[in-house]
């Protein structure tokens, strides 16, 4: 089935995805900075005994993923073709890190996971329209 070359209003979902990528990236970077420089450790009970988890390690992971999400969010908003694929990979990675962070911050993790699923849907289903909209806008005088 051939796809139409016409740009529809559905391209707004891709721009929504780009904006959400920016917001999620900023919040991840902020929470990553807080955790990276936090002296706290989480202590839990596992099958092998007491488990001590350094919060700063996950802080650095969230900081790096957050910075990458911001960069890719700007690229998705500008209609870059490569940004769509990179954004999909980063959103999946972000959703996985939020599952790991679920016990520490359940509400934020759930909201982030849900927004990530909307972003994935927009980028996978309507991402090619954003590329066409960007290409057609660059041909305007």
pLDDT tens for 4-24 read 566 677 778 888 899 999 999
Write out pLDDT tens, residues 87-136: 999 999 989 888 887 877 788 889 989 999 999 998 888 777 766 666 66
Q: What are phi and psi of 9, to 5 degrees?
A: -70, -15
Give the pLDDT mean for 46-51: 66
87 Ramachandran zone, left/alpha/beta (phi>0; psi -120 to 50): alpha
Q: What are phi and psi of 2, to 5 degrees?
A: -80, 140
Whole-prediction pTM: 0.75
| Cα gap 102→85, rounded to integer Å | 26
Strands 49-54 and 41-46: antiparallel
Residue 47, pLDDT above cutoff 80? no
Backbone Cα Rg of the chain? 18
Give the pLDDT mean for 21-37: 88
> Which pLDDT belongs to residue 72?
94
> Which pLDDT belongs to residue 104?
73
Residue 67, pLDDT above cutoff 80? yes
Give the pLDDT mean for 58-82: 89
């Amino acid at each position: 089935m051939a796809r139409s070359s016409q740009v529809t209003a559905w391209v707004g979902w891709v721009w929504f995805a780009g904006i959400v990528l920016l917001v999620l990236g900023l919040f991840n970077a902020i929470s990553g900075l807080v955790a990276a420089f936090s002296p706290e450790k989480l202590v839990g009970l596992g099958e092998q005994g007491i488990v001590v988890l350094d919060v700063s390690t996950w802080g650095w992971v969230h900081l790096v993923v957050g910075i990458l999400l911001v960069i890719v969010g700007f690229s998705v908003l500008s209609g870059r073709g490569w940004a769509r694929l990179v954004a999909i990979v980063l959103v999946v990675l972000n959703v996985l890190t939020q599952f790991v962070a679920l016990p520490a911050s359940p509400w934020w993790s759930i909201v982030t996971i849900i927004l990530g699923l909307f972003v994935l849907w927009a980028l996978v289903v309507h991402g090619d329209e954003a590329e066409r909209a960007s290409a057609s806008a660059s041909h305007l005088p």
